[in-house]
Amino acid sequence: MSGWLDADDRCPARDGYIMPAEWAPHVRTWMCWPCRTEVWGGPDGLLRAKQAYARVARAISSFEPVIMAVRPQDLAEAKLACAGKVEFFETPLDDSWSRDFGPTFLIGSGSARAGVQWQFNAWGNKYRPFDKDSEFATRVLKREDLPVYRAPFVCEGGAIHVDGEGTLITTEQCLLNANRNPDQTQQQIEEGLALFTGARRVIWLGDGFSDEETDGHIDNIACFAAPGRVLVGVPSAKSYPDYEPAMEAVRRLKQSHDAAGRGFEGIDMAQPQTPRQDWRGRPLAMSYINFYLANGGVVMPGFDDPNDEKARAVIADCFPGRDILQIDALDIVQGGGGIHCITQQEPRRLGSEEAA
């Protein structure tokens, strides 16, 4: 990572921290109350988004504690909508995607925990202002009295997914985009991801996805179901715009191995049958991959689509023993992301005896 860190500079990997898998036990979930009207196409869309966020928060609260970050002026409405099911953290916000600009939490030896503050530029300078969100992770980590590691490159939490055993998946379309890290090479970004997540192997799953909002976030494309097992969202028809990029992701996984030297078992998950458009007229970013693993449960999206129940069955097979709650997510994806995008897990320390 030449020019970014000196050999003796502190970073998570050198200090013994790793980013754990999402299925590791959580302390709580972090969310942010919607507040940027333009993301939702106007006041009516914003209101529907708030109602949908509250449904997700209440669902997760049945599995683990939830903290909702909220602007002081929005606290009363958020309390009313969440019906006493969550705790609130009053703080400045520009937007509401806690996965992307919230901290990436890390665990170390014993009781050690910490977090990463990625550089954040609002998905390639798509929205302004973003100065409040660009420091949100630091405010959360200071609230939790955890060390803050400031990464020297642009990344969002939805751009990466890990198996907790040293393997990370991402896309060239996002992290190598000229609107994120124009002066860094793929090798430099890999080194950065290794130093700030503890990953020993980075798998790149291509580009060409139709997602213009996040430029191909991995959490709408593929995710680990377990070490060596990867769920991939496959469009329901070859004519759909993401079919070829998804097939390329499948091919790359078949040709790759993880940090432990294992090949990957790919699990195809059929995406919604019925294509829709968002309020801008763009393809609606509906993905069953964009689910959230809570302690003992899965909170996954539904889209009023014939494939909703099929997706639920795949998730049940991948995560046996977990309760599955399927939440209508159409009003969330109008803003460009899904249930995974609006949540961020805070893991327990290593050695916790409480089951996920």
**pLDDT at res. 3:** 54
Say which residue the tokens 């994806």 belong to. 333
- The residue length of the chain stands at 356
Q: What is the largest CA-CA distance in the chain?
A: 55
d(CA 82, CA 332): 16
Q: Is residue 252 part of a domain?
A: yes
* HSE of 184, CA atoms in CB hemisphere, 13 A: 24
Residue 316: which of 279, 269, 248 has the closest Cα? 269
Backbone angles phi, psi at 207, to 5 degrees: -150, -170
Q: Is residue 355 part of a domain?
A: no
Per the structure, the complete domain to which residue 282 belongs is given by 26-347
Q: Is residue 119 part of a domain?
A: yes
Q: Is residue 173 part of a domain?
A: yes
Q: Is residue 37 part of a domain?
A: yes
Q: Is residue 331 part of a domain?
A: yes
Per-residue pLDDT of the chain (356 residues; tens, 9 = 90+): 445 677 678 999 999 999 999 999 999 999 999 999 999 999 999 999 999 999 999 999 999 999 999 999 999 999 999 999 999 999 999 999 999 999 999 999 888 999 999 999 999 999 999 999 999 999 999 999 999 999 999 999 999 999 999 999 999 999 999 999 999 999 999 999 999 999 999 999 999 999 999 999 999 999 999 999 999 999 999 999 999 999 999 999 999 999 999 999 999 999 999 999 999 999 999 999 999 999 999 999 999 999 999 999 999 999 999 999 999 999 999 999 999 999 999 999 866 544 44
Provide the token pair at 306. Answer: 């014939």
From residue 109, alpha-carbon distances to 12, 14, 16, 195 in Å are: 12, 12, 7, 16
CATH of the domain at 34: 3.75.10.10
Amino acid letter, residue 273: Q
Q: Is residue 32 part of a domain?
A: yes
**pLDDT at res. 356:** 46
User: Which DSSP symbol is given to 156?
Assistant: -
Q: Is residue 2 part of a domain?
A: no
- Among all residues, which ones are annotated catalytic? 341
Q: How many domains does the chain have?
A: 1
Burial class (CB in 10 A: 0-12, 13-18, 19+), 132: middle
Q: To the nearest 10°, the Cα dihedral for 105, 188, 129, 158?
A: -40
Backbone angles phi, psi at 28, to 5 degrees: -170, 175
d(CA 53, CA 30): 12
Residue 151: which of 171, 162, 130, 137 has the closest Cα? 137
**pLDDT at res. 6:** 74
Provide the token pair at 192. Answer: 């950065």
